[in-house]
Amino acid sequence: MEPLVRAYSWLVERFGELAPLYLVGALGVFMVACTLPVFLNRPPDPLSKLKSQTRVRKAADRGGAQTGKQLRQHGGQAEKLDKFSTFLEPQDEREMSNARLTMLQAGYRSKSAVRAFHFAQFALGLGFLTLGLLYALVSSATGEVPTRKLILMVILPGAIGYYLPKYWVNRRLQTRRGEITNGFPDSLDMMLVCVEAGQSLEQSIIRVARELRAGFPALADEFEIVANEMKAGKDKIQVLKDMSARSGVPDVGSFVTVLIQSTTFGTSIADALRVYASEMRDKRVMRAEEAANKLPTKLTLGTMMFTVPPLLLILIGPSLYSIVKTFHGGGF
């Protein structure tokens, strides 16, 4: 027991009262570092290897050694994360489905998007936690630091690193939804022109996607996916429902419902597009008016902070100066 007591005393003298906490954190990082090579050196799954070979063979048959090379590189990158799939992906089917839908709505369509997201959370959280721990050790060694501040030095960077990918995905999701919402009325007007000119719904969707590429690339990608799925023979109703789920925009969901009803009951698609395009234009005007009406409320605080104090200083300042000068001059 004496060696342990001596070691404990040396740690307390060297690093302060939180030396046991630092030791436990260092042991945790060391155990994680020792565990990672075990997962990295795990033998590949024969089924995954067979799937990879099949993808490469199909790519070569479709033509082009360059395409096959790209798919092999992509497959190799995906296999690195396949080894961590047991703890990098939600095991519950509902949670996995929600995570995939969130990544699709944010614009990440690869099969390993959920896995890469959780890997980024794990890597950034662990990396920032290690940096915080090192900074806390250096701070405690150079001087006395309060216990609460040391705990914040260790935990706060780890929390920031863990939630940083989630913030990035949510920010990208909101930006993408806003882009789709802003460009959707224009796409309906162009689609109506194409349909009235005699083109089919599939041809009009392809043309609209080509025209929207410069201004609204996210919406153009959605229309291209719809056109390609229709060309592949997928059910039109299911394709439209998938587009509504990927976009996550209520206007697109309503548009999909209108098209499904028009297809089911055999009514004119041009008439449905004309009515719905008019409603979307009116709705866009209402959103612009709503944003304009919010401006005075948002500017109230800034106006009060930067206008009222100078105004009071100009109006009351001379009087206060005269009162103070009279008082100190012995007028009272």
Cα 143 to Cα 134: distance, rounded to the nearest angstrom:
14
Q: Over pLDDT 90: what percentage of the chain?
A: 3
Distance, in Å, from the CA atom of 220 to the CA atom of 186, rounded to the nearest integer, reads: 12
Cβ proximity of 115 and 89 under 8 Å: yes
Residue 183: which of 281, 103, 271 has the closest Cα? 281
Report residue 150's pLDDT band, with 50, 70 and 90 as the boundaries: confident
Q: From CA 275, how far away is CA 225, in angstroms rounded?
A: 25
The pLDDT, as a whole number, for residue 60 is 45
What's the half-sphere exposure (Cβ side, CA atoms, 13 Å) at 73? 6
CA atoms 104, 106, 107, 111: torsion sign: negative
The per-residue pLDDT for 200 is 83
Helix count (H) and strand count (E) of the chain?
Answer: 13, 0
φ, ψ for residue 90, nearest 5 deg? -65, 135
State the Cα–Cα distance between residues 239 and 227, nearest whole angstrom.
Answer: 9
Kindly tell me if the per-residue pLDDT of 320 is higher than 50: yes
Q: 134: closest CA among 120, 149, 119, 154?
A: 154
Residue 22 clears pLDDT 60, i.e. is over it: yes
SS3 171: helix
The answer to whether 269 and 260 are in contact (CB under 8 A) is no
Euclidean distance between CA atoms 212 and 205, whole angstroms: 10
User: How would DSSP label each residue in 257-297?
Assistant: HHHHHHHHHT--HHHHHHHHHHHHHHHHHHHHHHHHHHHHH
Q: Could you tell me if 185 and 277 are in contact, meaning their C-beta atoms sit under 8 angstroms apart?
A: yes
Give the Cα separation of 326 and 38 in Å (integer).
84
Vertex 223 angle, CA 234 and 167, to 5°: 110
pLDDT of residue 69: 44
Which residue reads 């799937």 in tokens? 51
Exposure b/e, 168-187, CB count within 10 A at least 16 = b: ebeebbeebbebbbebbbbb
pLDDT in tens, 251-304: 888 888 888 888 788 778 888 888 888 888 888 889 889 888 888 888 888 888
pLDDT at position 112 is 80
Per-residue pLDDT at 125 exceeds 70: yes
Q: Report the distance separating Cα 187 and Cα 194, nearest Å.
A: 11
Most confident residue range from 4-8, 36-40, 243-247, 327-331: 243-247
For the segment 100-109, the average pLDDT, to the nearest whole number, is: 86
pTM of the model: 0.64
Residue keyed to tokens 């460009």? 183
Quote the CA–CA distance of 107 and 120 in Å, as a whole number.
17
Report the alpha-carbon distance of residue 103 to residue 172 in Å, rounded: 10
CA 315 to chain centroid, in Å, comes to 50
164: nearest Cα among 194, 131, 124, 136: 124
Compute the distance between CA of residue 265 and CA of residue 318 in angstroms, rounded to an integer. 79
The half-sphere exposure of 110 on its side-chain side, counting CA atoms within 13 A, is 12
Quick one: tokens of 209?
Answer: 């996607």
pLDDT tens string 55-77: 545 544 554 444 344 434 444 45
